Amino acid sequence: MRKNMQIQQPQNNEKAYKIIAVDDEEGIVDSLSIFLKRSGYSFTGVTDPKEAIEKVKNEHFDLMILDFIMTPIHGDEVVEEIRKFNKDLYILLLTGHKDLAPPLETIKRLDIQGYCEKSDKFDQLLLLIESGIKSIAQMKEIKKINDELEKAYLESIETLRYTVEAKDTYTRGHSDRVSAYSVLIGKKLGLKQSELNTLKIGGLFHDIGKIGVPDSILLKETKLSENEYSQIKNHPSIGAHILSNATIFKDILPIVKHHHERYDGKGYPSQLAGENIPYLARITAIADSFDAMTSKRTYRDSLPLEKVKEEIKKCSGTQFDPKIAEVFLDILENHYDEIEKIQKTYQ
């Protein structure tokens, strides 16, 4: 190993990057430890691949140097486990010989950033580490920018939201509850986090189009005329139009526009039916209807829970997606404490 070679840490880094090396040859781990610590890195060496998985699960590491052929499990199996809970760890794979490297498809599938043959000089590995550290620094900067954009996004949608609430005080509690109910249903359906985030924001803004409905109709305490009701029915299209010019809202547009579609095609504004209705809009639709039925309004009391469950059962397959209705009914039967928690939070 060349002791005069030094990896240059990025100038703007205040804390040492954390590197974990996993190799069942203790000598390799010791050599890496000496070199990387001398280069200013925080280093952890592990000879047991199963122990390494637990360490990555419980500690933060920026980069992993991983031997491919190990016992009791190989490096690709280690990565397989790690990728179940950590998608960001930068991984460099070591092989005793290039012919022993895993297939390229495996490297791509497991998102392994690079691999090289073992050498007592570590030249190639050092170059890969240096490149990896630069990539990690760039990704951290991108994440920082994305976090700032997300903050600006949330602030902008809150401003729009308050504009609607200024017109209709019912909307705030209603939209908060619809958002929370939708996320609850989404979790029971096993949706991924990005979809849950879309449900959350979509629920908060599903009624944004009411900003375009005259106050005389929106705030009317008696029964609406047919003409007045037709204007209310325009709010999904109005909402989608308001948000359509900003790309940051593109993911929630299907919810905003189609949360009043019916599974039998008799809803509005587009009379979509069945699976042609965007999936997340189908979830929001049942959450929206549930809150409407269980909320007290100036012109009627809230419906008893048993009556609400009967209505959802009756409308399964006509108004509501039957599979989503089944999941929501299970929540109402067996997890009603979660519903009550939402109702208490957003009274």
Element (H, E) at 92: strand 90-95
CATH code of 329's domain: 1.10.3210.10
**Residue with more model confidence, 225 or 276:** 276
Transcribe 43-90 into DSSP letters: EEEES-HHHHHHHHHHS--SEEEEESS-SSS-HHHHHHHHTTT-S--E
Tokens matching residue 185: 């249903």
Domain count, the chain: 2
Tell whether 151 is covered by a domain. Answer: no
pLDDT tens digits along 140-193: 888 888 788 878 877 876 777 777 777 776 666 899 999 999 999 999 999 999
105 & 235 share domain: no
Spatial distance between the Cα atoms of 7 and 150, rounded to a whole number of angstroms: 34
pLDDT tens digits along 263-319: 999 999 999 999 999 999 999 999 999 999 998 776 667 899 999 999 999 999 999
Q: Is the pLDDT of residue 323 over 80?
A: yes
Q: Which residues contact 232 (CB under 8 A, 6 or more apart)?
A: 213, 217, 218, 224
Q: Which domain holds residue 303?
A: 168-345
252 & 103 share domain: no
Give catalytic status of residue 108 as yes or no: no
pLDDT confidence of residue 97: 64
pLDDT confidence of residue 304: 93
Q: Whose CA is closest to 66, among 28, 15, 16?
A: 28
Three-state DSSP state, 274: helix
96 & 47 share domain: yes
Q: Which range in 110-119, 209-218, 337-346 is most confidently predicted, on average pLDDT?
A: 337-346
**Among residues 55, 144, 210, 307, which one is catalytic?**
210
Three-state DSSP state, 25: coil
- Band of the pLDDT at 13, cuts 50, 70, 90? very low
Spatial distance between the Cα atoms of 301 and 293, rounded to a whole number of angstroms: 9
**Residue with more model confidence, 55 or 231:** 55
pTM of the model: 0.62
